[in-house]
A and B are shown apart, each in its own frame.
Chain A
Amino acid sequence: MPIDVIMPKMGMGMSEGKLSRWQVKDGDSVEAGQVVLEMETDKATAEMTADVDGVISVVVAEGEVVDVGTVLGRIEPAEGAVVKPRAPGAAEGPSAEILQANGIALNVQRTGEGPAVVFIHGLSSSMELWTGLDQAGFQGRTLISYDLRGHGRSEQTPGAHTLRKHTADLVALLETLGVEQASLVGHSLGAMIAVELAASRPESVRSLSLLSSTAAFPQETRNTLFELASAATFGGMEGIADPLIELTFRPAFRDANPKVVEAIRRSILSSDAASIVAATRMVAKADLRPRLGGLTCPTQVLVGSEDSLTPPDLSRQLAAAIEGAQLHELPDCGHAAPVEQPAPVTRLLAEFV
């Protein structure tokens, strides 16, 4: 069966891309990992590699602008060729790879050289959360992002989600990558995982950046999260995609960025309901307040001034409970700070990590 080369989705806001140049010709033999084409968006350029050894046929011509997911070419696999594993329907970001860690397959992306900075996304999101950040701001750092278990292209695991499991995933991932110490950048649920790791293995964490987060949700929000989990338990992701988007993005951002919101809606709808239910319940129950007093690494706390899911008050309490923590409030920003305000988020993180 031919393997499609498709226009990847390289950021939450990306809906189309330009095929700038083919590096191979129609009918050429290609090897897995070989660069076959160059593409660009208004934000970035990237090379795409073959997923498998085989013979390539060109579908879309150079210079054309096409929607994300469009088939650009097809590779007829060579006899006995092994296809790189890929989650069905998932678009591939540049240079992402599947690594085995803690007994499960995690989708990981790594760029740059230098001390490691690990980006941990939040509930029902994926590593694509971070694609709006400007990588050039992080010169001299190795940037690592990954999909949490049950999210993005990482493995869907049965059973409950616990911060202990997620932290063990991250510890194993760092070991696999040979990283002894890292700066952790966590968004929402990702910040909870970062705090848990910093509290349980302080020697592994150089600094903490906690975005749009809290140590524990107030009871009313917990109730809402349990209701979302229950709705997805009985009715799948369809019933909770809109509520999740409403909780995450403020109305002004939704109105101004319908394409971004639609892409995120599709991403949420394609999520594994059982994984999202389990992770939602974990977030609802999480209470890291007893952990905060023991944190010793440098910490910064970032929050959008119009975040309704984790309002600034929660970040103020979080920063107050962590010794020496800096607090930054971003104006005109809701819960999804890396998506809504990538420039100031990049600047604040780059100065700190």
Chain B
Amino acid sequence: MAVATAARTITIAEALNESIRLEMRADPKIVIMGEDIAGGAQVEHLEDDEAWGGVMGVTKGLVHEFGRERVLDTPISEAAFIGAAVGAAATGLRPIAELMFCGFLGSCLDSLLNQGSKLRYMFGGKATVPVTIRTMIGGGFRAAAQHAQTLYPMFANIPGLKVVAPSNAADAKGLLTASIRDDDPVIFCEHITMYTLKGEVPGGEHVVPIGKAAVARPGSDVTLLGVSLTAVHALNAAKTLAEEGIDAEVIDLRTVSPLDEETILESVQKTGRLVIVDEANPLCGLASHIAGMVASRGFHWLRAPVGMVTAPHSPVPFSPVLEDAYLPNPKKVVAAVKETCSSAS
């Protein structure tokens, strides 16, 4: 009778929806909460309305299957509902909260910085906080500086939080499933421009472990490292480079924290060259951290300075022309690789 057991090509949004649905079926302790994630907000005259399913429609239909007791529309107060999610996790539920834009972290930071990330440590492992915060990252949506940020370095800087950012539909499903099942708080970053990106996704249960990077394309001349959309940029750049005789290995980081240092170092040992692509701001960012880690642990393998393609250290511009100039793209990656490969070794 089960229909969805074979792999098929679906969007990232549908893959996320499927992960949540299958996990909610398996575990009655899972509740989901956020702004308009059900739709209708329990207002009587909207009771019959088709569910809105969150600002990007990821949770569409779940309220019909699981009811309003497990699919909770919240007030527009991130401090309230992220606090509620962390508290519910600490007291026995397994909540998934949708923090619409990661910039809204500003409204609810205490729950994550001082409560959710600390409880297990401070109570000697006797408390767990199995909450998943789904949140949007990234620019390219013409949504201006407050709604286009890439803040995974800020989340990753807080010990006790895990930070995940998939680049394709299969990983979106598998990593979200792993995040929901994880007993620590996980910040699950979804790139705002990628929801309609399609890919082949296994049906049924599919888990991709947190903390394990993927070699998305094997190569021998240079290592390109990206995460979320920048992993896609790296793959596209690698195609262009292949036409020009440069064989790039692409590492899709998939998890920002904990960082899979071994996969990165193994690749650098093989290629001797590293270009990191990161949409976050550069100061104390992901690219600079990985460059530092490689300099510290793998300096003797490097045949050229580490290349970095990042956003500049400024807010995301609203002007479409400036936003395009601001963001990393495959062309910038190709240029950085050529510079790295032309360095004397």
Contact = CB atoms under 8 A, between A and B. Distances in A.
Given A234-B17, A235-B10, A227 B4 contact: yes
Given A229-B61, A234-B17, A159 B2 contact: no
A162 interface: yes
Interface in A209-237: 220-221, 223-224, 226-231, 233-235
A221 B3 CA distance: 10
* Interface size range of chain B in the complex: 20 to 34
At the interface, is chain A mostly helix, strand, loop or mixed? helix
Contact of A235 (B3, B14, B49, B64): B14
B144 to A, nearest CB: 28
Interface stretch (A62-70, A100-108, A276-284): A276-284
Contacts of A221: 1
Contact of A159 (B13, B50, B61): B50
Interface string B17-50: 1100100010000000000000000000000111
B3 A159 contact: no
B23 to A, nearest CB: 13
Contacts of A278: 50
Contacts of B2: 220, 223-224, 227
At the interface, is chain B mostly helix, strand, loop or mixed? mixed
B64 A226 contact: yes
A288 B18 CA distance: 28
A274 B1 CA distance: 23
A225 B72 CA distance: 23
Contacts of A165: 48
B3 A284 contact: no
Contacts of B11: 234-235
A229 B4 CA distance: 12
A220 B5 CA distance: 13
A160 interface: yes
A55 B60 CA distance: 50
Interface in A120-176: 158-160, 162, 165
B3 A227 contact: yes
A285 interface: yes
Interface string B230-270: 00000000000000000000000000000000000000000
Contact of A277 (B1, B49, B61): B61
A351 B21 CA distance: 46
Nearest to B13: A234
B110 interface: no
Contacts of B21: 226-227, 230
Contacts of B25: 223
A284 B67 CA distance: 13
Given A224-B1, A235-B10, A162 B61 contact: no
A308 B11 CA distance: 30
A230 B3 contact: no
A277 B64 CA distance: 11
A243 interface: yes
Most chain A CB atoms below 10 A, which of B10, B25, B61: B61
B298 to A, nearest CB: 42
A224 B2 CA distance: 6
Contacts of A226: 21, 61, 64-65
Most chain A CB atoms below 10 A, which of B2, B10, B65: B65
Interface string A284-324: 11000000000000000000000010000000000000000
Contact of B64 (A227, A231, A274, A281): A281
Contacts of B64: 160, 226, 229, 281, 284-285
Contacts of A285: 64-65
Given A226-B64, A234-B14, A162 B3 contact: no
User: Which 5 A-B pairs rank lowest in CB-CB distance, beginning with the nearest?
Assistant: A234-B14, A281-B64, A160-B48, A226-B65, A227-B4
Interface of A: 158-160, 162, 165, 220-221, 223-224, 226-231, 233-235, 239, 243, 274, 277-278, 281, 284-285, 308
Interface of B: 1-4, 8, 10-11, 13-14, 17-18, 21, 25, 48-50, 60-61, 64-65
